[in-house]
Every structure is written in C-alpha cells, then in structure tokens.
Amino acid sequence: MKVLVVSGIWPPDVGGPASHAPDVADWLHARGHEVEVVVTAESQPAEESYPVCWVRRAAPPGIRHAQALAAVASHARRADVVYSTGMFGRSSLGTFLAGAPLVVKLTADPAFERARRWGLVSGEVTEFQQRGGGQRSRLLRAGRDRAVGRAAHVVCPSAFMRRLVLSWGVPSERVDVLPNPAPQREEAEPYDIGEHPVLAFAGRLTDQKNLDLALDALRDVRLVVAGDGPERERLAARAGANVTFAGPLPRRSALGLLAAADASVLTSDWENFPHGVVESLAMGTPVIATRTGGVAEIVRDGENGLLVGPGDLVGFRTAVERYLSDDALRERLRANAAPSVARFDRTAVFSRLERILEQAAS
C-alpha cells in the first residue's frame, strides 16, 4: 500500500501531531508499506528512510497554502490513500484533485481553532458549534464540514471529539475513536530535573493551554515547562523564579522530564485528547488537569490524577497542594498511572489504523 502522510508540523516542532505523524510513518514503513510525507517546516527536516516533502512555513500565507496544496495533490496522485493529521482543507482539496481517498485524524475542531486565532470567538469549543463569531465563523464551519465530509474515514482520539464530528453531519459508520498510542518507559532518556518537588508541562505553548493559570497557581512550587509556541515569550516574561523554560526538547528528553517530575500539569481551556497526558501517565507520572473535552476519558479523578474545572485557579492550587502533601494519595496515583494507559498499546492502535487505511484504499 502506498500511503501519503500529511502533517502541518513535524520534528523538531513540538506538539501531538509532530509526534504522531512520524510515529505512523515509521510504523507503516517498517510494515513494508511505501510511505511519503508532506509537511510544513521552518527548515529542511532531518532525513528519513522515506521521502519527506516540505513547504517552507516562512512563506507568505497565500503562497504557502498554494504550495502545500500543490504538494499534496502531486504526491496524492501516486498514493493509494492519504492520511492527514493537519492542513485539512488543503488535504481535502488536494486529494479531490488527485482522485485519492482521504483518511483524516482530527484532534480538534479546525474551524474553532482558526476562529480563536483570529479573535472571532472565545469560550468552549462546544459553544462554537452552532453559533458565534459572525459570518466569518459561519464560513469557517461550512468549510470544515465540506472538508471533513468528503473524507473516506475520520479517526478521533476521544469519544468527545467523535461526538463533535457526528454533529457536523458525518455518518457514524465513517467515524471511529482511535486513541493516541502510549510510549514505553524505556523510550525516555534520563533528565536531571533538580530538587523536588517539581511539576512539569510538555507541549505547545498556545493560548489554548492557558499556562497563565499554572503560573499563578504554582508560585510556591517549581515548574519546568518544555516546548515552544507563540505564547512562549510572553509567558517567560511574566513567570516567577520558580519556573524554568526548557525550550523544545527531543521527544526522548521530554519523556524523561515527565518521568522525573512529581506530577505533570495541564491547565487547558479546551482539549480533545492531549498526547502529553497519555505520555505522562505512560511514564508513571500522575496528571493534575482541567476537566475539559476528552481529558476525563484519560485522567480519572483520584485514580491516576486530579481534575478541576477549567479556569479554576483556587481549585487547581488546592489540587496541587493536596497532591504534594498527601503521601498516600501520591503513591496511589503513581501506582495507577502507567497501568491506566496500557490499553493504548502502540501495535494495537496502529494495526487498527492500518486496517482503516487499507479499507479506504480499496
């Protein structure tokens, strides 16, 4: 099977798609499939055992979008199936022009994320589905529905995301829940985290993550922040001396950071099925998180982590204090962390994806 993988980000970028897309490409290539990749990047990506076509992200938006569309359409003509984890509009149009079947992995509502970036809306993703944001948001929703609707299949990491996709009119038989696979503990390399207690965050530094809440809640606890993104400079400028910004780490180092921390934190205003939460738990590290989107499908309050309401500063601070002061709670949550994501075995997850791709290709 000839598979084209499309992703908006790729290592050394950080974030879920930048981990997932190369993982899928590597696994499919090792299985004997012919793999090609189309991505956007700041500079030429590292050489892989399969071709990686890249579009320079620094190009002006119109030019960049046209170049990415042309790349997808060109490579899709040689593919049996296209698997897209980003650039959904360009993936949809490119595969339409090439006559290739498309399988989409949706980790978020692309219309909502763009509307947030443009300052058209605020609030939760569920509030955005039917209203809000004026005419421009209505056009974004219509474009999203058209792009996703022509996919042969849609995979979602969470039941929460599947419900959203079904609300867009996609038939239920074309939408499956396929969680992000959990890494193995041996994939982490040692990370010197310094004096304990210390909490960690690893991921994209965007307004969605609402790390301001973490900075305000953790003024008396050390916090190590790994990752990069548009919010990094602003967050670093307002952070206290207790916060260390480690920058974008290689994945093995990021896993080592999560393994070494007393707990990881997630203070997002909205989420689907955050990859960093699965990675933290797989490393045996509990998660203190906001209860939003599909987070509660992974983190079970009082079992492998603690949950508070989105934006609840007092509640989050109280949860951290409770976790660090209660030895029995901390040990119970740590003991349950890794077993709680054992069901996300990589081979099982990617084998299901392989079958979905083969079905779409046929």
**3-state secondary structure at position 293:** coil
Question: Measured between alpha carbons, how far is 216 from 237 in angstroms, rounded to an integer?
Answer: 13
The closest alpha carbon to 313, from 216, 173, 169, 176, belongs to 216
Half-sphere exposure of 186 (CA within 13 A, CB side): 0
Burial classification of residue 196, based on how many CB atoms lie within 10 Å of its CB (0-12 exposed, 13-18 middle, 19 or more buried): exposed
pLDDT score for 351: 97
Question: Measured between alpha carbons, how far is 139 from 136 in angstroms, rounded to an integer?
Answer: 5
Threshold 0.75, pTM exceeds:
yes
Q: Domains in the chain, ordered, with CATH?
A: 2-180+345-361 (3.40.50.2000), 185-340 (3.40.50.2000)
- Per-residue pLDDT of the chain (362 residues), as tens digits, is 999 999 999 988 877 788 899 999 999 999 999 999 999 999 999 999 999 999 999 999 899 999 999 999 999 999 999 999 999 999 999 999 999 999 999 988 999 989 988 989 887 888 899 887 899 999 999 999 999 999 999 999 999 999 999 999 999 999 999 998 999 999 999 999 999 999 999 998 988 899 999 999 999 999 999 999 899 999 999 999 999 999 999 989 999 999 999 999 999 988 888 889 999 999 999 999 999 988 999 999 999 999 999 999 999 999 999 999 999 999 999 999 999 999 999 999 999 999 999 999 99
**3-state secondary structure at position 229:** coil
pLDDT score for 130: 82
Question: Measured between alpha carbons, how far is 197 from 324 in angstroms, rounded to an integer?
Answer: 8
